[in-house]
Amino acid sequence: MERLRIPNLATYLPIAPSDLLLTAPIAARVLFGATPAGRVVQAAAFGVYAGSAAIDWAARADAKRVDFEATFGIDPLSPPDASEEDRREDIARLVETLDAGYQPMRIPRKELAEEVDRHLTEFLAELTGQRLETSAQVRQFMLAQMIFPFALGAADPLTGDVAIFKSVGVFEPHVIAHEFCHRKGYLKEVEAQVLAYLALAGSGDPVLEQSAYCERLDRQLWVLADRDTAKYNELLSETGLREELRSGFEFRHPTEQTYARLVGPFMKGAYDARMKLTGQNGLSDYDEGFTNFLLAIERET
């Protein structure tokens, strides 16, 4: 099979080049004042960031993409609506499957990321006929975390850098797979949601399958709860989902702490607007669009 390697050099550096770029002007001023050395530091930070991005961009020119409409018969940006009954049935099915096959999460993040990357690469290769190989590195920190306190992870579309901010328990394989989809060039959120889900749900690995089903269950409940935390928790407790798994859902929609409560709504609005500017439907692509698409392609088959 045809093979293409994207170097993702930025992902192997100890600090994210995007963070270097953001902090270089302050660091240079503190360390060197208004001297030429300060300008050299800033130029070097820019060079590392832009250089890594340019190398990936050139390599990516030959990458093959999944054609969603040809493959699934449905555009993930405009799937047919699911009814409330569809959602409730889906929730019942997911809870039954999850309760019966519970898997404790024991794999360290580094190994998990390599496992997720392997399945995602294979899944995409089946659809495109090309093995698109990318880095399996995951950071613990990027400055984006301060800007988007509600996010679980982030990806820098230019360098392919990925960070997972929190320990996300059973959701971790899906969060990693979602960010790795961005790394492989699927920048739209609903595309990353759908490809991550399908790659994990069809992986044959019970830990990865569980994560995909948990993501789908969480998103279904969130839509059904009209994105209201109290209602979500009520619906969650009514599902009968076993305790080991249910406790892992509580952090997904927390009653927000001071900083996140102040910054969260504003940045969510800004993020929603940015998504719309890039041809997406907005934050609903993560949950409503994602679950509508899955239900629709399953109806087709």
The residues of the shown chain that bind Zn ion, judged by CB under 5 A, are 189, 192
> What is the nearest approach in angstroms of Zn ion to the Cβ of residue 32?
37
Within a 10 A sphere around the Cβ of 170, how many other Cβ atoms? 23
Q: Which is nearer to Zn ion, 45 or 223 (CB)?
A: 223
Pair of tokens at residue 119: 């399945």
> What is the nearest approach in angstroms of Zn ion to the Cβ of residue 112?
18
Task: Kindly give, in sequence order, each residue whose CB lies less than 8 Å from that of residue 55, ignoring residues fewer than 6 positions away.
Answer: 7, 9
Q: Which is nearer to Zn ion, 189 or 215 (CB)?
A: 189
Q: Which is nearer to Zn ion, 112 or 181 (CB)?
A: 181
Taking alpha carbons only, the member of 120, 151, 124 closest to residue 136 is: 120
DSSP run (H or E) holding 26: helix 17-32
3-class DSSP assignment, residue 17: helix
> What is the nearest approach in angstroms of Zn ion to the Cβ of residue 274?
12
**Cα dist from 1 to 64, 129, 271, whole Å:** 13, 7, 38
> What is the nearest approach in angstroms of Zn ion to the Cβ of residue 125?
21
Q: Which is nearer to Zn ion, 186 or 213 (CB)?
A: 186
Q: Are 138 and 112 in contact (CB under 8 A)?
A: no
> What is the nearest approach in angstroms of Zn ion to the Cβ of residue 286?
8
Q: Which is nearer to Zn ion, 163 or 295 (CB)?
A: 163
